[in-house]
Amino acid sequence: MNDEILILADPQSKVWNFARSIYGRLNSDPNRLVKYRLGIVNIIKFNDGEIFVKIEESVRNMVCFFVHDSSMSPQDWAMSLVEINDALIRSSAREIYNVLPYMRYSRQDRMTDPRTPVTSGVLARMIGMVANGVITTDLHNPAITGSYSLPFDNLRAYSTIISYLRHKYPDFLENLVIVAPDVGSAEMAKSYAKRLGAGVAIVDKSREKAGVVGKMTVIGDVSGKNVIVVDDMIDTAGTLCKAAETLKEGGALKIWACATHGLFSNNAVERLNASYFEKVIVTDSIPQESLGNIEVVSLMDLFAETINRISHGRSVSELFK
């Protein structure tokens, strides 16, 4: 790679401090073989809603890591990403890496009905035309990486969350069961349990009709145990809060939740603060502040180390062994 790496972000965005922290962390490493710089991308919205972007410095023959703001609306997020990639390639950037802490549109990963799009695939084609690589965290469906014909690092946030738990709440972890809120989260629950030396349980749910959850049943023993419910994201938190009620009925002691992406739509924060969850731990993949029983853990070190390893031609997967 080039001996100069450019970390780019929009200084008016909520992700600017995240990108600036990555830059500071990279430059504090005495073993680095490359020089890192922090650069500015301006993302402007005109009165009619159209988006305009401008890179404020030369990127000719440089390796560029663009850190995007996941808190933008999905439409603004996608359009500005496409425009920035186009601007970088037209400005003769040598390599382009999209750093997307939370990848929008990743939930639209299949045809749910006839005559519907696979939007995650559309995004893959748009990114694949110009970018050289993608870095993101905990895709809703890891199989999405198969839509990309370029290097794709789908980082695992559990390493950061587990380190946070061990440092701040060691006593809570001594009597612990990890709970998957559905079968789809079972593998993530096993990853947490293996590293924390805990048992595993699953909340099985039936649906009365589309979008309405019926009866929930706990598969596994949570009686007299502290419980952490783990998932890749929390959206409305309705099903999650109902799972907490079921776990409490099953005799669980303290009930916590850990998730990578805190979407928190439709009054989810208020719903969680009124629930049986004593703590809800999420990352800053979507920029936000701790509030009530919600605690935010930063992924800055994880992304900084990933960029550092890519810059120096080292393995990223070793981070999660």
Active site residues per annotation? 205
79: three-class secondary structure by DSSP:
helix
Strand order in the sheet with 152-155: 51-55, 35-45, 4-9, 63-67, 95-100, 133-137, 152-155
Q: Which of 20, 12, 48, 3 is nearest to 304 (CA)?
A: 20
CA-CA distance, 165 to 279, in Å (whole number)?
11
Task: Round to whole Å and give the CA distance between 215 and 204.
Answer: 8
With H, G, I as helix, E, B as strand and everything else as coil, classify residue 316.
coil
- Alpha carbons 184 and 203: distance in angstroms, whole number: 11
- Tokens 């609306």 appear where? 73
Nearest-angstrom CA–CA distance, 237 and 231: 11
Residue 274 CB neighbours (<10 A) = 12
177 CA to centre of own chain = 23
Helix axes 158-168, 300-311, angle to 10 degrees: 130
List Cβ neighbours of 215 (8 Å cut-off, separation of 6 or more).
205, 206
Look at residues 281, 74, 252, 73 and name the one whose alpha carbon lies nearest to residue 167.
281
Alpha carbon distance 166, 173 (integer Å): 8
Q: For residue 218, what are its two tokens?
A: 């706990």
